Structure 1
Amino acid sequence: MSIEKELSEKAFQLCSKFLCGEWKDRNNFKVEKLNGGLTNKLYICSTQTGEGKIKKVVLRIYGLIMQDVNAQITESVVFAILGQKELGPKLFGAFSEGRLEEYIPGRNLKTEELRIPEISTTIATRLADYHELEVPMSRDPVLLEQFQGYYKRCEQLGVNMERYKEPFKFCSQLIQNTRSPIVFCHNDVHEGNILIDKEKIDAGSSMIESLRLIDFEYSAYGFRGFDFANHFNEWTMDYSNTKWPHYHFNQSDFPSNDQQRRFISAYLEQQGKLSEDSIVQIMEEVMEFAMVGHVYWSLWSEIQAKVSDIEFGYVEQG
């Protein structure tokens, strides 16, 4: 059996098991690859109802970097809670290699849209709400543990670590000494994880009202400054490049002080905590964690380059 046929059969069995009804009809079942995942492989599964309507769900198959069972369980719990709160897609089924989730018709943001003032401030309010979530998981920040884990894994995989030694030491010390508050972080707020919900647009909502954060696989309790800095770093990365290494990097696109202040002000206003001191505090946290974000994702990229079969320039990104 070819890989395509094997995948199609596995997808059908999963949809039939978790969704029942029309999903048990093999003749109307289809599966197609969904582009965009850098960690996991994504597929759209579809079937036809008795009335001729098309139903769709997303099948997510975890990448090799997400093989820790505890991490998978935690992420599924987070995903289910956010789906129930209508802050993310609904969870339809979880299994050892991945999950079935709600398909939300729409499109992801483009990198250049992150700097549009209305969109930027809306992302800030979404992040503000996210940071105030109460999630039943450990409140201990996981950033340092993950950071050290990525470094150790790179060593095990034979990566030349010479250029990482000093940055790793510096960033580890910074994480240990930070005074940035602990909140429930998304940890991966880039344009590919921000969706414009087509159904809300069709119902009369504005594009701004329809923005949703998606993909919560890196969500955990952590330092507020890391989430901000990580998002601002993503302003410099454009993943729409169809040619190798499949991204463009432009450091000059990092948000200016004015753009940072606008974003941070919207965030604080959403939480009812707007003050000049608070704005300055978060801007200082951004300066602290910007380098941490670069080194963190560079180590992640080195691992992906060794273990992932997704076509992407991970080494070049690192």
Structure 2
Amino acid sequence: MNEVMADQNLLEVEQLPFWTGPIKIWPLEGGTTNRNYGVLQADGQRFAVRLGQDRPEHGVMRFNEQAAARAAARAGISPKIYYTAPGVMVSRLLPGRSLNAQEMVKPENLLRVAALLRRCHTSMAAFLQGPLLSFWVFHVNRSYAHALTRAEGRIVNELPRLMEINDFLETRIGRVEIVFCHNDLLAGNVFDDGARLWLLDWDYAGFNAALFDLANLSSNNNLRREDDIALLEAYYGRPFERGEYDMFRAFKCASLLREALWNAISEFTSDIDHDYARATDEYLGRLNTALGDLD
């Protein structure tokens, strides 16, 4: 992010009508489709400010993110929301830090994350209000492929094969039970305040299959087979069925494909300093390995 944009963001935060006195502002880590800032008011209250416009190329619409974040806060799995405006959200700044991928695979953390996701899937519906989006990964992948074709993206010649894989996985999964999901389970979006875990960042939230969230958690954090089994058994509270595991593995492949396409789009749409081309190729390599393990 260049200095001019950084200054504009700080000015936008400073001028929000929510503040009741002098504030101090500092940047927070994380955010690939948004900018995040910590704010300390003179009265000692601490807030997190999230700035971000719609990103249609990624299916990120801020009305949906804000509605999901408010519902998650009411359900007790995300911080309290104090103020929203188009492209702006102010929430409680939690003490603690996000997990990392190495911490995620610890047995005790898999248990805690499984319980947090089960609570998301079973309790948020009662708090959701207004129009909301769905997140069907196979539609998302096809949309990315269309955009990459129009833009003549770097991997355009691979798209026919990748879309055949996408269709195969969608057919293999078949019918699913729909719940409200997070859909972006990077370790950085799971926050530990020292006493409990919270879910952050609802950019991609929407109605989806619960098993996609579990598979997305696995694919984003490089879980091994034994970790996957521990996660599924913790989530269900029982030994999982063969059909559930087959669906989970197919969703894991679909999640890897989606991450590859997300990075391929970001190669020419993002202003963040990141090697998206390398990430695209890494995810495609992991996808090929996961496909080889499907049967």
Is the structural similarity TM-score above 0.5? yes
Using a 3 Å threshold, how does the CA distance of structure 1 residues 77 and 139 change in structure 2: closer, same or farther? Answer: closer
| Alpha carbons 2:135, 2:183 under 8 Å: kept | no
Distance in 1, matches of 2:184 and 2:5, equals 30
User: How far apart are residue 226 of structure 1 and its match?
Assistant: 1.9
Q: What is the rounded CA distance, in whole Å, between the counterparts of 1:267 and 1:226 in structure 2? A: 13
**8 Å contact from structure 1 (residues 182, 224) kept in 2:** yes
- Which residue does 2:256 correspond to in 1? 294
Whole-Å Cα distance in 1 between the matches of residues 273 and 66 of structure 2?
26
Contact 2:137–2:255, Cα closer than 8 Å, also in 1: no
The SS at the match of 2:246 is helix
RMSD: 2.5
Is structure 2 residue 236 aligned with structure 1 residue 260?
no
Compared CA separation, residues 130 and 91, structure 1 to 2 (3 A) = same
Matched, 1:71 2:55: no
Please tell me the residue identity of whatever aligns with 2:13.
A
The alignment's TM-score, normalised by the length of structure 1, stands at: 0.77
For the 8 Å contact 2:138–2:166, the answer to whether it is kept is no
TM-score (norm 2): 0.83
Number of the residue aligned with 1:21: 20
- Are 2:189 and 1:193 aligned? yes
Residues 72 and 120, structure 2, Cα contact 8 Å, conserved in 1: no
In structure 2, what is the equivalent of residue 304 of structure 1?
266
User: CA deviation digits over 1:65-119, x for unaligned, max 9?
Assistant: 3589982212211111111222101222222223222211211112111111111
Question: Relative to 1, partners in 2 of residues 1:215 and 1:69: Cα closer, same or farther, differing over 3 Å?
Answer: closer
Counterparts in 2 of 1:73-222, with a 5 A limit? 73-132=63-122, 133-134=124-125, 135-136=128-129, 137=131, 142-160=136-154, 161-176=156-171, 178-197=174-193, 201=194, 205=195, 210-222=196-208
Larger radius of gyration: 1
Residue pair 2:141, 2:166 contacting (<8 A) in 1 also = no
Gaps of 5+ in 2: 281-295
Q: Secondary structure at the match of 1:180?
A: coil
Note the C-alpha offset of 1:279. Answer: 3.6
- What is the total number of aligned residue pairs between the two structures? 272
Classify the secondary structure of the residue corresponding to 2:61: helix
Residues 38 and 48, structure 2, Cα contact 8 Å, conserved in 1: yes
Secondary structure of the 1:221 match is strand
Secondary structure at 1:179's aligned position in 2? coil
In the alignment, structure 1 segments of 5+ residues that lack a partner are: 237-253
**Aligned-pair identity (%):** 20
Q: Give the C-alpha shift of residue 143 in structure 1.
A: 2.7
